[in-house]
Structure 1
Amino acid sequence: MKLIRTLFCTSFLGVALMGFSQSGQDDPEQTYKKRVLETPEIDFLSSYYTQNGDNAAVSGGVGTEELTDLVGTVVLSIPLNEDDVLTIDASISAYTSASSSNVDPFDDRNQADPFVASSGASQSDTWVNFTGNYSHSSDDRNNIVSVKLSVSSEYDYFSVGFGGSYAKLFNEKNTELSINANVFLDKWNAIYPIELRPFGNNGIGFFRPDEITGNVNYNPDFNEFDDENRRSYALGLGFSQILHKNVQGSLSLDFVNQTGLLSTPFQRVYFNDVADSFIENFQLADDIEQLPDSRFKIALGGRLNWFLNETIALRTYYRYYFDDWGIRSHTASLEVPIKLSDQFTVYPNYRFYNQSAADYFAPFETHLSTDVFYTSDFDLSKYTANQFGLGLSYTDIFTKFHISKFGLKSIDLKLYRYDRDTTFGSFITTLGIKFVMD
């Protein structure tokens, strides 16, 4: 993988330098150049997400998966000159999770139960993210180079990411080739299930041995993780082509290599060959999720957009994914934008997803203590999912409505319903409002 990463970086820098070397081939008598972005733009984005299910990974593949999440995002795009644009993206997410609350199910007066949320500190958290992106376009607008930096944090996780991209347009801008590379360096602050902490490296934690029922000789073979870092390296290749005045197609190929701590420290596992121990109605963990410290992913995708007429268009997408953990998946989607008027468009959509199980997945109390790797996270299980959505957009190119110096350019409202053939289901509502400065 070191060789692959070196080739990725060399290729990226090479095409970027090639793009800059061609950027000065404009007419010396040219006196006007259209700006990449005419005026500053600001987007306000928000979403409300809810989910539920009965296969919580925190409690070993059983228990409530109830969660609500509210996200607010502000995206500010600033033209620095005719060629350069700076984009700043700031997001904050506040969630409440019945599942993660059971990292410590014994921290309130209710009977501990995997299907009942605890009211302790792990019930809620806040995630924040900041991303800055700088892009430069050549004078002929056929070469676009961008770089970005991102930082995100929550109570048990911190991440820094950086990367860049290069796009080349030719054939009278009917063809585009692109490459992007990103690196993410993550750091866990590992939080373990409450009952395992006294058996860890530090031997510190709250435990009530006098309340254990079932196997009263509870003595798990548990060790904390030595390495709490995760490193992700991603490379993406893209090709886009206008096939006809009404048809556009694109292909993508993505590679991701991850190393380090890829297990989630607070996700329990229960063994079939170990006697069960309980406090109240909650079964004490035999161990936590153990997954390999490396993972390589490949995804191949294609899009085909067909503009049938001035009113209706078809947007299709397909992706095939596989990795060295044994997962194979297929994604297919269809969106049908229908223009109701010059300002309003409605777009129903559907997405199908199917995947095989990871080699290391097994349901609740199915793994053996002799296994090397194990997880009961149903995100890594075999399942099929369907998502139905409906969107409505409003666009005003004349920005008639104003707030101070900013004119309203567009409003987008989207609703999605997602269901797996397990017990899991979710619903999300998103709202986006874009303003431009006059």
Structure 2
Amino acid sequence: MKRIPLLLALICAITVTAQEKLQDSILTYKKRVLESTEVDFLMSYYTQDGNNAAVTGGIGTEELTDITPTIVVSIPLNDDDVLTIDAGISAYTSASSSNVNPFDGDGPADPFVASSGASGKDVLATFSGTYSHSSEDRDDIWSANISLANEYDYFSVGFGGSYTKLFNEKNTEVSVNANVFLDTWNAIYPSELRDNPDFVPHSDESRNSYSVGFGFSQILTKKLQASLALDVIQQEGLLSTPFQRVQFADVADVVVQQFTYGDDIERLPDSRFKTAIGGRLHYYINEIFVVRTFYRYYTDDWGINSHTASIEIPIKITDRFTLYPSYRYYTQTAADYFAPFNQHLSTQEFYTSDYDLSDFDANQYGFGVSYTDIFANFHIWKFGLKTIDLRFNQYERSTGLSASIISGGFNFVMD
């Protein structure tokens, strides 16, 4: 009987110790930022056509197709850190850029007909890596990134980072990010200008871009969320495209076959300052409908001012399927240095006939569908299929450019 108090004391001690350990484990438990490795397989097919190719001075075919397969792998390094690797290629064929040398085809040179030259196709390879760290309470997130891009006449390296702070019970979020891109051209010039003794090639083929962005997001009610973003970009160096032609109104045209020689290449200032400010407003109507709206104003010191407005209305038709109808409107003023084919003067310092820098309006209509299985029942090896996304967008510009893009993505999560 004397042993009973001792036994009871021992049991109490064990119980208290177990309870303390349980409480400690509860207090120290935290949800991982990313539970397991995720892999995204992305693919897009883009096609366009128009009659204002900058390669041939603002007239000619703009026909282009592009296929872009990409893989994105997100790896949780521990509870707080995630490494994301993004690698892809962009393989395109371009009727307009083939006319960098319009005389290497089988038929007569014509700005509205593609030449068969090597410049008519290329592959852009891209790679980026991002490391992100979240604090214990998940209220602070730091990230750093590096990127590389390369194609036959262009190489780019970039790096940057960001910081995000959540507070007010995670209802408020502020962020800042900064990035630097250091680019180098391997300038390719129009064929008729390469042997012209009066032609002056670029002496500096580098381009540097520096950007800073600020973000603010606020959950206003249970159904309404708003965000604001400000981006500032400074670019320096070779900001024109070396193989884009310009014809002068005060210089006699030289026409060979059906092709008008360029009097010079596009020449633009060696600096550009850009500013964009925008906002988003998301409203949850009910379990079926959500409204997502966006607006952005852009301006730069080349004279371009633009407005972008878009709306998307996700429609949840079942627990697994959601539809995404969308519409986007865009309008911009022309750059100070833009003029159409054969309307520039040789006395001007800067000039371009690139219709991307012209005055135009554009409409984009889109539709998408997504499939989500939170249990990832379908498996390929050790990965379960979590989501499938398919999108189609049709783009129409007032200058006559028309483009279509089909994109899709498969998200897999490791068991």
TM-score range relative to shorter protein: over 0.9
- Aligned residue for 2:68? 71
1:103 aligns with 2:80: no
Q: Deviations over 1:133-169 (max 9, x none)?
A: 0000000000000000000000100000000000000
Deviations 1:159-207 (Å, cap 9, x if unpaired)? 000000000000000000000000000000000000000025xxxxxxx
Partners of 1:284 and 1:422 in 2: CA distance? 23
What are the equivalent positions in structure 2 for 1:126-275 lying under 5 Å apart? 126-199=123-196, 221-275=198-252
- Quick one: distance in 2 between partners of 1:277 and 1:98? 22
Q: Tell me if 1:319 matches 2:296.
A: yes
Number of the residue aligned with 1:10: none
SS in 2 for 1:58: helix
Task: Structure 2: state its 5+ residue gaps.
Answer: 1-23
**Residue 117 of structure 1: aligned partner:** 114
Displacement, 1:108?
2.1
Residue 278 of structure 1: CA displacement? 1.6
- Per-residue CA distance 1:99-139 (angstroms, 9 max, x = gap): 00000000122100000000111110000000000000000
> In the alignment, which residue of structure 1 is the partner of 2:17?
none
Query: Which of 355, 359, 371 does residue 382 from structure 1 map onto?
Result: 359
In the alignment, which residue of structure 1 is the partner of 2:334? 357
Q: Shift of residue 33 of structure 1?
A: 1.4
Aligned-partner Cα distance in 2 for 1:390–1:31: 45
Among 40, 55, 58, the residue aligned to 1:58: 55
Name the aligned partner's letter for residue 283 of structure 1: T
Q: Is the 8 A contact 2:165 2:174 kept in 1?
A: yes
Aligned counterparts of 2:374 and 2:223: Cα–Cα separation in 1: 22
CA distance in 2, matches of 1:428, 1:407: 27
Q: Where do 1:346-425 residues align within 5 Å?
A: 346-425=323-402
Counterpart amino acid of residue 70 in structure 1: I
1:30 Cα deviation after fit: 2.5
Please give the alpha-carbon distance, in whole angstroms, between the structure 1 residues aligned to 2:303 and 2:28.
58
CA distance in 2, matches of 1:43, 1:199: 50
Highest Rg: 1 or 2?
Answer: 2
- State the shift of 1:28 in Å: 9.7
The number of residue pairs the alignment matches comes to 392
> Does the 8 A contact of 2:128 with 2:148 survive in 1?
yes
Amino acid paired to 2:82: V
Residue equivalent to 1:6: none
1:30 aligned counterpart, secondary structure? helix
The answer as to whether partners of 2:106 and 2:116 remain within 8 angstroms in 1 is no
Aligned positions of 1:41-56 closer than 5 A:
41-56=38-53
Structure 1 distance, partners of 2:65, 2:231, is 31
User: 2:306 aligned with 1:298, yes or no?
Assistant: no
Partners in 2 of 1:421 and 1:163 — Cα distance?
Answer: 36
Query: 2: distance between equivalents of 1:80 and 1:199?
Result: 58
Instruction: String of CA shifts for 1:282-315, please: whole Å, max 9, x gaps.
Output: 1111000000000000000000000000000000
2:351 maps to amino acid: Y
Aligned-partner Cα distance in 2 for 1:118–1:276? 21
- Counterpart selection for 1:328 from 301, 305, 310: 305
Q: TM-score, normalised by structure 1?
A: 0.89
Query: What is the DSSP-based 3-state SS (H/G/I as helix, E as strand, rest coil) of the residue aligned with 1:241?
Result: strand
- The one-letter code sitting in structure 1 at the alignment partner of 2:52 is N
Q: State the distance in 1 between where 2:369 and 2:181 align.
A: 34
**Separation in structure 2 between the aligned mates of residue 65 and residue 50 of structure 1, nearest angstrom:** 10
Structure 2 counterpart of 1:333, which letter?
S
In 1, the alpha carbon distance for the partners of 2:60 and 2:126 equals: 30
SS of 2:356's partner is helix
The match for 1:40 is 37
Give the secondary structure class of the aligned counterpart of 1:173: coil
Query: Deviation of residue 29 (structure 1)?
Result: 7.5
Query: Once the two structures are superposed, what CA deviation does each residue of 1:248-294 show, in whole Å capped at 9, x if it has no partner?
Result: 00000000000000010000000000001022111111000000000
Query: Could you give the per-residue CA deviations for residues 31-82 of structure 1, whole angstroms, max 9, x where no partner exists?
Result: 3111000000000000000000000000000000000000000000000000
Distance 1:59 1:298 in 2: 30
Q: 1:84 and 1:187 mapped to 2: Cα distance? A: 33
Q: 3-state DSSP class of the match of 2:35?
A: coil
1:431 maps to: 408
1: CA distance between counterparts of 2:180 and 2:129?
A: 15
Counterpart for residue 14 of structure 2: none
Give the Å deviation of 1:386: 0.1
Aligned residue type for 2:298 = Y
Q: Take 1:156 and 1:28, find their aligned partners in 2: how far apart are those partners?
A: 57
1:338 paired residue number: 315
Contact 2:141 2:165 in 1 (8 A): yes
CA distance in 1, matches of 2:25, 2:138: 16
